Structure 1
Amino acid sequence: MTTEQSTAPAPEALTFKAEVQQVLHILAHSLYTDREIFLRELISNASDSLNRMQFEMLTNREVLDPEAELAIRVEADSEAKTITISDSGTGMTSDELVEHLGTIAQSSARAFVQQTQEGNKAAASEIIGQFGVGFYSVFMVADKVTVLSRSFRLEAEAALWESSGDATFQVGPGEREQRGTTITLQLKEDAAEFANSWRLEQIIKRHSDFVAFPIYSGDRQINQQKALWRRAPREVEAEQYQNLYRQLTLDADAPLLQLHLSTDVPVDMHSILFVPAKRERGLIERRIEGKVKLYSRKVLILEEAKDILPNYFRFVEGVVDSEDLPLNVSREAVQSAPVMQRIRKTLTSRLHRELNDLASQDAERFAAFWKEFGVFIKEGIATDYENRNELLKLLRFNSNRSSDELITLEQYKSRIVDGQTEIYYLLASSLEAGCTSPHLDPFTARGIEVLILHDIMDGFMLSGLRDYEGLKLRNVDEANLELPGSAEEAAPQVDDAAFARIAERAKAILGDKVKEVRASKLLRDSPARLVSDDDAMGREMQRIQQMLGREGEAAPRILELNPASGLIASLARRLESDADDTVTTAAIEQLYDNALLIEGLHQNPATMVPRIMKLLEAAARG
C-alpha cells in the first residue's frame, strides 16, 4: 500500500516543542541498539487506536466505514526503502495530528533525556514506550515520516503530517477515503534491512504476536492474535508467558509467579496474572504498581482496572477478560458492576492460594517474594479482614531466636514456653537495633521468643493483628509485664539509698522528657530501657505517623535503670562523691538518648556527638 498524495494547498509548517526536539535529536543521532522497537511502538499505537474504535462502535454506529475490518497492515518496499503501517482505527484530524505528534509531556521528555544523558542508551531504547515518546522512535530508522489520517467522525476530512526529524513538521489537507491512519517511513541508508517483509515479520513475532487484532502482510496474517489467556494453560509454553509479560510491562526480568485462570462459575473469566520478580520495575519510573487490563468479550474496556484486586495486590500485572461484563457498560460504571465483585473475589482467592502454595512448596522463591512484596501483605492484614486468615499464613518475621531465618506465626506458637499465653513483639528501627534492644534481656533469660518488627509498615499492620489463634500480641516495652517462666535474678550492685539518689538525679536532669525514673525488675545486662504505660496502639500509631512523614515529639516514657548494672553502680558512686558531677550528668543524658535511638525515636542523633566526645575525654583521663 502506498500513501495517497495530497492535491490540497501546501501544508502549514510548524515547529516542534523544545522537549520534542531534544527527544528527536537523541533518537535520530544517539540510539542505535534495538532499533527494531520502532515497529513495536507503531503497532502498539495502531492497536490502541483500534481498541478505541471498537469501544466507540459499541454505542455509536454513525462512524465512517462502520463495516471495515479492525486490522493492521504492514508492507515493505525494498527497492524504495520504505515501510508502510496502516490501521482502520479512530484516525486523527489535522488538529489532533498537531496535538498528538507535536507535543510530549514535559515530565516524560525530561525523564527520557536524563536517562540517555547518563549514558544508558541501551536502557533508554527499552523504555521508549513508557515515556510517551514511542512514535518518535521511527526517527531511529527513518529520514522522513509521513502520516496520512482520517478521523472516524463523518464530517472530518483527511489530514497529512510530515517531518524529517528536525525542528519542524508540516500539517495540511490530505486525500484518504477510508477511516484510519497510514504511516510511511523513508528509511535511512543504514536501516535498509528493515525494508524486507521477512525482517518485519520476525520483529512482529517477537514483540507483537499477541496483539488482539490481525496484523497482515499482503493477504497473510502474521500474528497469532488469539490471546494467551483465551487458551488452555496446557497449550501455553513458559516462553509464551514470559513474552506476554514483557509486552505488558517492558520488564526484562521473568516474573516470579504466574496465574493462568479460566472459570465458568461463579463468573465466566479468562485471566493471566503475574507477580513480578522485583518490587521496583522500570529503569526511570521505579514504579511499584502493576496494571491489570480489563477486557469484555475480547474488547479492551479498561487499560488499568484498579479495583479488580484488593489494593495490597497492586503490584500484580496481567489481563482479565470476562464474557459476563456487558459490552455497553460505561467505563465509569464497570468498576461498580456486580460481576466485578465476583471477578475480584475469585482472583483474590486464587492469588492467596497460589502464594500459600508457593510458601509451602518452594521456600526459596517465597523468601524472594517476601523480600520484595511482604510490605503489601502487611498492609492487607490491616485493611482486609475478610481474607485475614489467608494473609496470616503468608506473614514472615525475624525473631531473637531465628537469626536471619524468617518464621511464621504458626512456628512461633509451636515454640512457646510453658505458661505462655501471649505472642511478644518488639518494634525497632532496624533488625540490628532490635537484636541489641535491652527489652530482650528478660526474654532471652527465660528462653521466650520475641518477634522483631523493624519495618515501618509494622505499626500499621498491628492495627489489624491483635491476636493469633487465641494468643494475644503483646509489646515488650510495656511497663508492667508479667513473664512466664523463671530466670536467675541478677544481684543489685547498689543499695536502695544510692539507687534513690541516682534516680532522683536522672529525673532532675531529664525533666519532662520522662514520666518517671525507677528501678527495673526485669533488666539483667543492659543498664537502662524506656517503657510505656500507655496503650500499645498509641505507640504503633506513632510509627504510622513516621511512615506518613508526620513525626512529632515522642510521648514521655518511663526510664528504668538496672540496679545490677556496673555502669549504674559506678555513676551512683560518683554522685556519692560529688552531687554535681558533670560526667554523671552527661552519662545519664546519653543513656536516655541511647534508649531513644534503639527505639527508633531519636529525631536528631547528631546532637549526641559533643556529649560523647566529653565522655570519651573523661574516660581517657581515667
Structure 2
Amino acid sequence: KIGVQLYVKRVFVMGDCDQLLPRYLRFVKGVVDAQDMSLNVSREMLQQDRQINAIRRRLTKKVLSTIEDLQSQRPEDYRTFWTQFGTVLKEGLMLDFDNQDTLLRISSFASTHSDEQLTTLAEYVGRMKDAQKQIFYATGESREQLLKSPHLEAFKAKGYEVLLLTDPVDEIWVGQVSEFDGKPLQSVAKGEVDLDSEEEKAAQEAERQEQQKDFADLLTWLQDTLSDHVKEVRLSTRLTESPACLITDSFGITPALARMCRASGQVVPVGKRILEINPKHPLIIGLQQAHRHRGDDDAKSAELTETAELLYGTALLAEGDIPEDPAKFAGLLAGRLARSV
C-alpha cells in the first residue's frame, strides 16, 4: 500500500492515499496536508481533482530530487537504499515518461566494470571508449549466467563495458528507454554488432570477404536445414570462443520477455531468430569441410543434419534456454556420444 496519508487543514481524510504518488514510489511514507479541498472527498473524486494531480506532480519530483541528493551527498546510504528499493523504482522507467530522465540518473546497475560496485549511467558514459556510440547491456536471470553468455565474448575481448540487467522489470523498461545523454541503449543480443575501429575494419576487410565467400554454401545449407527454427544464418562478429549463438532483430522481443508475457497469460507470437556462427571455431570449420565433401552419401548428409540440430540446441542452452523438443535433442546428443566412445 501507498504509505501517504491525506489531511485537509490538519483534519485526517484518508490513509494509504494512492493518488498522491505513483505506484513505483509506494515505499514512501508521509503526510500531505492540503488547504483548499473538501473534507467530504472520495477516492473516485481524487482521481479527477486538479489540485491532487498538481500535488502528485510536485510530490513526485520532490521525492526523486531527495533520492538524487542522497545519491550525490551520501553514496553509502544511497547504495543501501537502492539495494532495498531499486527494483521497485525502476518500474517508473516504463511508466513515468515525464520523470524518466531523472529516474535514469538515479538508477544503478551491475556491469562488467566491477564485480561488486554498481554503476550509474553517467559513470558508464564517462568510461566509454572514444569511438563508442552506444550503451551496451545484457538481460538475463543472473550475473553469473550473463558473464558466461556467448553474446558477451567480443565485448569482453575488446574491453567494452556491458550493463548486466537481471531484474524481471529490466526486460520491459529497456524497451521504453531509447537513450541516455544522447547515447542509445543497445542490447548485446539484438541486431548486428560492430566493435571494430575504422582501421581494424579496413585491415580485416579482405579476410571478411574471403570468409563470406568460403562459408556461403554452408550458410545457405544451414538456413535451409534449420528453417523451422531460424530466419537467417550468418557469420558472427560477436563470437570469439563459442561456435554459435542466437540473436534477435533490433526491434524483436527477447525469449526471456516472451516467457514473462506467457507466464502472465499474454499471447506472444512465436518469432524466428537469427543464428550466428563463428567462422574461426574448430566445430564450424569442421562442419564446413564436411559439408563441402559430403557428396551423395545419405549417411553423411543425415549426420550433417544432426550436427546442425545439435548446434542450434547448444546455442539455446548457452543462453539459458531449452530446445523446443528436449527429448529429441537429448536423443541426438546421446547418439552422438555413443558413436564417439
| TM-fit CA distance, 1:542 | 4.1
The whole-number CA distance in structure 2 between the counterparts of 1:498 and 1:618 is: 29
CA contact (8 A) 1:301 1:331 kept: no
Judging changes above 3 Å, is the alpha-carbon distance between structure 1 residues 410 and 329 closer, same or farther for their aligned structure 2 residues?
A: same
Gap change, CA 1:327 and 1:374, over 3 Å in 2: same
Would the aligned equivalents of 1:424 and 1:450 in 2 still touch at CA under 8 Å? yes
Opposite residue 279 of structure 2, the aligned amino acid is: P
Q: Which amino acid aligns with 2:16?
A: E
- In structure 1, the residue matched to 2:147 is 435
Name the residue aligned to 2:161.
Answer: 449
Structure 1: give runs of 5+ residues left out of the alignment: 1-288
Per the alignment, residue 390 of structure 1 pairs with 102
1:412 Cα deviation after fit: 0.9
Judging changes above 3 Å, is the alpha-carbon distance between structure 1 residues 373 and 513 closer, same or farther for their aligned structure 2 residues? same
Residue 129 (structure 2) pairs with residue 414 (structure 1): no
| Greater C-alpha Rg | 1
1:556 pairs with 2:272: yes
What's the counterpart of residue 513 of structure 1? 229
What secondary structure sits across from 1:559 in the alignment?
strand
CA distance in 2, matches of 1:606, 1:364: 47
**Of 593, 596, 618, the match for 2:316:** 596
> What is the distance in 2 between the residues matched to 1:358 and 1:610?
56
In the other structure, the counterpart of 1:347 is 59
Give the letter for the 1:413 counterpart. V
CA contact (8 A) 1:400 1:450 kept: yes
What per-residue deviation string (whole Å, max 9, x for no partner) do you get for residues 417-471 of structure 1?
A: 1222221222334322321222222222322222223322123212331011111
1:457 and 1:547 in contact (8 A); partners too: no
Displacement of 1:546 in angstroms is 5.0
State the AA in 1 paired with 2:285.
A
Residues 289-328 of structure 1: pairs in structure 2 closer than 5 A? 289-328=1-40
Cα deviation for residue 310 of structure 1 reads: 1.1
2:2 touches 2:17 (CA, 8 Å); kept in 1? no
**1:334 paired residue number:** 46
Residue 459 of structure 1 contacts residue 543 of structure 1 at CA under 8 Å; is this kept in 2? Answer: no
Aligned to 1:244: none
Matched residue, 1:366: 78
Equivalent position amino acid for 1:590 in 2: L
Q: Is the Cα contact below 8 Å between 1:420 and 1:484 reproduced in 2?
A: no
Deviation by residue 1:233-259 (Cα, 9 ceiling, x = unmatched):
xxxxxxxxxxxxxxxxxxxxxxxxxxx
Whether contact under 8 Å (2:2, 2:21) holds in the other structure is: no
1:550 and 1:586 map into 2 onto residues whose CA distance is: 34
Q: Partner of 1:332: helix, strand, or coil?
A: helix
In structure 1, what is the Cα distance between the partners aligned to 2:93 and 2:195? 27
Summarize the Cα distance change of 1:615–1:340 in structure 2 as closer, same or farther, 3 Å threshold.
same
SS in 1 for 2:108: coil
The answer to whether structure 1 residue 536 and structure 2 residue 256 are counterparts is no
Q: TM-score, normalised by structure 2?
A: 0.81
Report the alpha carbon displacement of residue 318 of structure 1 after superposing the two structures with TM. 3.9
Distance 1:441 1:393 in 2: 28
The reply on whether 1:566 has 2:282 as its aligned counterpart is yes
2:242 counterpart residue number: 526
Alignment of 1:102-141 (within 5 A): none
SS at match of 1:358: helix
Residue type of the alignment partner of 1:408: T
Q: Aligned AA for 1:592? A: Y
TM-score (norm 1): 0.47
Determine the C-alpha separation between the residues in 1 that align with 2:272 and 2:336. 25
Shift in Å, 1:334 = 3.4
Query: 1:495 Cα deviation (Å)?
Result: 7.3
Contact 2:108 2:118 in 1 (8 A): yes
C-alpha contact 1:431 1:452 (8 A) present in aligned 2? yes
Q: 2: distance between equivalents of 1:337 and 1:516?
A: 54
- Aligned residue number for residue 614 of structure 1: 335
Q: CA deviation at 1:527?
A: 0.9
- Cα offset, 1:305, TM superposition: 0.9
The alignment yields a C-alpha RMSD, in angstroms, of 3.3
State the distance in 1 between where 2:117 and 2:86 align: 15
The answer as to whether partners of 1:355 and 1:394 remain within 8 angstroms in 2 is yes
| Residues 330/605 of structure 1: CA separation in 2 closer, same or farther (3 Å cut) | same
Residue 39 of structure 2 aligns to which amino acid in structure 1? L
Q: Taking structure 1 as reference, are residues 618 and 313 closer, same or farther at Cα in structure 2, changes over 3 Å only?
A: farther
Number of residue pairs matched? 329
2: CA distance, partners of 1:368 / 1:414: 23
Q: Is the 8 A contact 2:191 2:250 kept in 1?
A: no
Contact 2:313–2:323 (CA<8 Å) still a contact in 1? no
Structure 1 residues 433 and 590, CA, compared in 2 at 3 Å: closer, same or farther? farther
Deviations 1:41-77 (A, max 9, x none): xxxxxxxxxxxxxxxxxxxxxxxxxxxxxxxxxxxxx
Of all paired residues, the percent bearing the same amino acid is 34
Q: Which structure is higher in RCO with an 8 Å CA cutoff and minimum separation 6?
A: 2
- Going from structure 1 to structure 2, the CA distance change for 1:298 and 1:604 (only over 3 Å counts) comes to farther
Instruction: For 1:585 and 1:537, locate their aligned partners in 2 and report how far apart those are by CA, in whole Å.
Output: 28
State the alpha-carbon separation in 2 of the partners of residues 550 and 595 from structure 1. 26
In 1, distance between residues paired with 2:236 and 2:129?
23
Letter in 1 for 2:245: R
Q: Secondary structure at the match of 1:405?
A: strand
1:359 shift after superposition: 2.3
CA apart distance, 1:554: 3.9
SS in structure 2 of the partner of residue 397 of structure 1 = strand
Query: Partners of 2:313 and 2:66 in 1: how far apart?
Result: 46
